Amino acid sequence: MSEIKVMIVDDSAVVRQVLSGLLNAAPGITVTHAVANPLLAIERMKVQWPDVIVLDVEMPKMDGITFLRKLMTEHPTPVVICSTLTEKGAQTSVEALTAGAVAIITKPRLDLKQFLHDSADELVSAVRAAAGAHVGKLAARALASPPPPPVTVKLNADAILPPTDARPMTATTERVVAIGTSTGGTQALEEVLTALPRVAPGIVVVQHMPEKFTAAFAARLDSVCEVRVKEAENNDRVLQGQVLIAPGGKHMLLRRTGAQYFVEVVDGPLVNRHRPSVDVLFRSAARAAGANALGVIMTGMGDDGAAGMLEMLKAGARTVAQDEASCVVYGMPKEAVKRGGVEKSVPLNAIYREILQQLQY
């Protein structure tokens, strides 16, 4: 890939300075402009258009959401949101994801400079992912993680849940759908879930998203869907017509008691550099539900969920991947297909039908 040209739009001089230094130090990335507000950004873009924009949301003269919508309407460009980690900021950033942003980088109000230095790898990864995203698909849908800070050792699902060769209990009338997604997943999930009727099977979802953001994301989905959508709490039962979103900063596991399914929300190390991790959810679904489950892996960067999907297939579950043509980033589905864990790949607009078929098994 040729050099990635980045524009930073943030009203904080400290943020502009630190982000510029961190990105310029990364191979293959150059910050061409760092400006204080969208109006200045528009003037600079008349001279040179960036490959990626790192954008704050709360700024004077023009807010980030308005600027983002203008971009997506007139000239779709990959955008990484750099937002303060607050409840208000979470709601605004989820709105930005819905409007077409690729990822979120969170920033605290205190110790900002040190935090940004500590999150340098996360920032660089988000910018690289954004540069390779099919942003036109996001723009079209707009008209929904960064991943958590990386660790030196990439852990797998063994860190949370040991593997097992045992098959789960025999099939019952209870059915469950486990969905995993990341970059581009906020919009993709909205498209899938809004197509479902209230009689849809119980659904559990891992969307890579930071702490505090998943509650706002679930509330937004709940407002536009026939099914009920909520951020999962420990011991929530998996019910027909309900979608449970794993909370940011926690892993979510599927458990079974008798013929009923519940979720367990737990702490633990990052798995595949994520918390929540799709692999953790999928492994637990393989153990607890087996042939009673459907695994769905959708748009996202990296390989989280690929190993878990293969475990689900071996346990008797149906498995479906979003196809390359409809993905914003064909990373996670591609890895799942490569490892042999996917029965079939379908376009995004066909996934809801696969979910409804689960009621017939």
**What are 240-272's pLDDT values in tens digits?**
999 999 999 999 999 998 889 999 999 999 998
Question: What band does 342 get if pLDDT is binned at 50, 70 and 90?
Answer: very high
Question: What band does 351 get if pLDDT is binned at 50, 70 and 90?
Answer: very high
Give me the sheet containing 242-245, strands edge to edge. Answer: 228-231, 242-245, 202-207, 176-181, 293-297, 318-322, 344-346
- pLDDT given for residue 107 in this prediction: 74
Q: Where in the chain is the domain with CATH 3.40.50.2300?
A: 4-132
> Residue 190: enclosing H or E segment and its boundaries?
helix 185-194
Q: Collapsing DSSP states into helix, strand and coil, what is residue 221?
A: helix
Q: Which residue has the higher pLDDT, 174 or 348?
A: 348
Question: What band does 146 get if pLDDT is binned at 50, 70 and 90?
Answer: very low
What six digits make up the tokens of 145?
A: 């993680």
Average pLDDT along the chain: 87
Question: What band does 34 get if pLDDT is binned at 50, 70 and 90?
Answer: very high
Q: Where in the chain is the domain with CATH 3.40.50.180?
A: 162-358
pLDDT tens by residue, 300-314: 989 999 999 999 999
Q: Does 293 score more than 80 pLDDT?
A: yes
Whether 181 and 300 have beta carbons less than 8 Å apart is answered as yes
Q: Which runs of E-coded beta strand occur in the chain? A: 4-9, 29-35, 52-55, 79-84, 103-107, 176-181, 202-207, 228-231, 242-245, 251-257, 260-266, 293-297, 318-322, 344-346
What six digits make up the tokens of 17?
A: 């300075």
- pLDDT given for residue 167 in this prediction: 52
d(CA 344, CA 67): 39
The packing angle between helices 38-45 and 64-74, to 10°, is 30
Residue 279's closest CA among 300, 248, 301, 310? 310
Q: Does 103 score more than 80 pLDDT?
A: yes
- pLDDT given for residue 145 in this prediction: 36
Is residue 157 classed exposed, middle or buried when 0-12, 13-18 and 19+ CB atoms within 10 A define those classes?
A: buried
Q: Collapsing DSSP states into helix, strand and coil, what is residue 212?
A: coil
Residue 148's closest CA among 268, 254, 294, 15? 268
Candidate from 77-86, 109-118, 178-187, 273-282 with smallest mean pLDDT: 109-118
Provide CATH code, domain 162-358.
3.40.50.180
Average pLDDT of span 83-95: 72
Question: What band does 4 get if pLDDT is binned at 50, 70 and 90?
Answer: very high
Candidate from 34-38, 230-234, 295-299, 319-323 with smallest mean pLDDT: 34-38
Residue type, 28: G
- Its CATH architecture, for the domain 4-132, is 3-Layer(aba) Sandwich (3.40)
d(CA 209, CA 274): 9
Question: What band does 181 get if pLDDT is binned at 50, 70 and 90?
Answer: very high
Catalytic residues: 182, 208, 304
- pLDDT given for residue 111 in this prediction: 67
Predicted TM-score of the model (pTM): 0.83
